A = this chain, B = another copy of it.
Amino acid sequence: MPHSNTHHEVLIVVFQVRHFPATSEKPATGPELAVLLWQRALDPEAGTWSLPGGWLRDDEDLTTSARRQLAEKVDVREVSHLEQLSVFSAPHRIPGPRTIASTYLGLVPSTSDPQLPDDTAWHPVAHLPEMSFDHGVMVDNARARLAAKLSYTNIAFGLAPAEFAMSELRDIYCAALGYQVDATNLQRVLKRRNVLTATGTTAPPGRTGGRPAALYRFTDSNLRVTDEFAALRPPV
């Protein structure tokens, strides 16, 4: 039999690539990877910022719980991708009875601008506020998973608009990865892997400057591994 009971919570790391206005501390930059956080009004750790989430209910599994709890913060129709990440299980990770946390990764397209509750805001991942408990580590963990998946899957579909010029997609990759990516090289690799489909249309003049830019969309809107190299592909 188990040695004692544990509580179980679900926490969701929701990312979106967003523009942030300039502040006295930071000049305006290009689009940045942002994470959705809410500020704790009460102790423990009043004033610190937390990931959205909460207790798992008796009648729901983790994914159902993640969707329900997200719905309390944002319209879940704006969440284009949701997947299980890691479990955080250190015995004393938060005060009180032992609580195990299952984390999820959620992605919101850059064109969404969900209504947020008063206690909730987007924060640049590169400049996190004071985070509650182990939630900062959870954000780091989720960002690392996102960066890895950008290289071997089509996961950028979750962050991109429905249609985009290649320069817009490049900006999204740069923001998510945190370093510069060459648009021509990115286009070459994604086309070879059949990740993108040309829409046959171009962006309105002036939207990206210069000559009209061809528009693309992601071929799939479900996650798939795009790097099944030839040797490992199953026979057709």
Contact = CB atoms under 8 A, between A and B. Distances in A.
Counting every copy of the chain, the complex holds 2
A89 B86 CA distance: 14
Interface of A: 1-9, 55-62, 84, 86-87, 89-91, 98-100, 102, 148, 150-152, 173, 177, 179-182, 185-186, 188-189, 225, 227-232, 234-235
A57 B4 CA distance: 8
A231 B91 contact: no
12 contacts: A1-B55, A2-B8, A2-B56, A3-B58, A5-B7, A6-B6, A61-B89, A87-B102, A151-B228, A152-B225, A173-B232, A186-B232
A6 B235 CA distance: 44
A219 to B, nearest CB: 17
B3 A177 contact: no
Contact of A181 (B1, B61, B225, B231): B231
A62 B91 contact: no
Contacts of A234: 177, 179
Given A179-B234, A231-B185, A4 B151 contact: no
A100 B87 CA distance: 12
A121 B61 CA distance: 32
A89 to B, nearest CB: 4
Contact of A179 (B151, B180, B235): B235
